[in-house]
A and B are shown apart, each in its own frame.
Chain A
Amino acid sequence: MEIKYSMICSIVLESFNKKEFLTFVKAIAEYSETDVLFSGEGYNGEDKSSCFIMPSESFEITQETKLDDVRKFIYMDDREVLGFLSYDYGLELKGITSDKERDIELGLLKKYLVYARHENNKLTIESDSPEIIDSIIEAYECYEIKDDNLESCDVSCNMTAAEYESKVAEIIEYIRDGQTYQLNLSMMFETEMEVEPMELWAKMAESHPAPFYAFINSLEGEIISTSPERFLRVEDGHVKSQPIKGTYRFSEYTPELDKMLTDSRKETAELSMIVDLIRNDISESCEVGSVKVDNHKYIMKVDNLLQMYSDVSGELNSDKDVIDLLFSAFPGGSVTGCPKKRSMELIEQLEPHARGIYCGSIFTIKDSKNMDSSIAIRTGFCKDEELKFFAGSGIVADSEPHKEYLESVSKAEKFLESFK
């Protein structure tokens, strides 16, 4: 028997702001398993948030998974899929062996009974069952806002400044040998989690907005992603990627700082390299002649960081779908380095930890020509009341080891502050 989910029932809540959406998410998460994508205030063109409620089918991605199995699950009906691929799945795709302990599945795809969309101060809840929608509204109306303060906790890091810096020096030698031109080196932080993961996520979403927040219940634990970075978007076959490279930490913003970043030869080279890499990665699935760099060296502000990014676009080949594109371009080049495979081999050797969800991707797929995805940076994973989070920076030939260490720590700051 084929079950058709038509999502025929919907209810619209007007004048519903982002703060109320976050309260809604917390309320529903107490009622039923709930996953979320959230775009914070202040991001042009990134205004949509979604809440995915009551997963009804899921599909785990393993070493053995074939792309056609992925297609079969995603395209079985019209419902949107929310999913993720861990960085470690990228190692498998590139044929790089790892003996590090993995704490999260390689990837997961989920479909739901209820989808709640938030856009333009409006929440639309859709399902094929009016009873379920009623129960959700009721759960929201009965919810009592709690004010769980985060307890301060000790955070440990798996590299000291000296260790990180000596690895940077080692990477520069690899660069001088031509083994890599740029390599992303990360460190891992660990702490106990005394609050619900959703509480921490929602607090961060409110205090440190970014365009690609995500909260996902994986099979092994909860993903807390606070990413500012898009990986790949496809709209009716039009492909867009927005790699970020080049970082400047400020305490007080002035517009002159933008110019300081765009004028920096080092930061520009970091971004340009990844732009060439992303052109390559999407070209495999795009029409010849369609791949273009639309905007180079744009600036975005996220937390206390200025970040430089570019827009790279192309047209999906008529015989390719979003799954071809996602799996051939994965993992995102801005978090591996260039060239990708050799850089990933070196990362595997240099970093003591498995990256897990960090530097993987979180995505939604509507159909064969429509998807959106983020790069899971500024991201943590919560399991057995322990939270791991990660931060890193791109190392190039003229990197200064101590500055790179400080840049990495600055990217972990929003997590670190939560436990102070």
Chain B
Amino acid sequence: MAQIFHRSANSLANITIAAVILGIGGLLWASYRIDQGSFITEVGIARQQPVPFSHKHHVTDDGIDCRYCHTSVEVSPFAGLPPTETCMSCHSQIWTNAEMLEPVRASYRTGQSIEWTRVYDLPDFVYFNHSIHINKGVGCSTCHGRVDLMPLTYKANTLYMQWCVECHRNPAKYVRPREEVFNMTYQAPGNQMELGRRLVAEYKVQSLTDCVTCHR
């Protein structure tokens, strides 16, 4: 009886097995990279806004504190987005003819809100509260990056769960003294772990990793 398979079928089988394993592995790797990449996470990509607002100019050049505009960040879950009135505190007198600021003036004239594009958009099944983080010594720049150096605002971190949990598992790695929370140029000192452990005890920072902490 003649052989059904040619002898090359052996190599063909081996190659196929290898190709399937490598192919599946490659697909998994590619989808992981895409998932972590800025196409999906939007990290590092400046969003189009009705006014090209520069945090760099207002924070670094003018020395305005975060809380001048984000007034509710210390007391509420929402950091607070300034009403047009806040922009007009200064721009009623400065750059009054600037074309760029016409949407702001139009909003002030008509009472229509400026429609900003949200840069940090957590999934709706996640509960997040700014004030507790601020009051436990988590700095603005820890999550939002060097906003004071951003001419246009972009996301500095993925907001993925693994990223949140990284700090929730070991807050001592990231906490800083409360009076440094709004200091955008703060650098973690060499003895961060020692300082962090001391602050965690002093501020009674809990390492909350229960599901219901965020998914409530």
Q: Does chain A bind chain B?
A: no
Q: Interface of A with B (CB < 8 Å)?
A: none
Q: Interface of B with A (CB < 8 Å)?
A: none
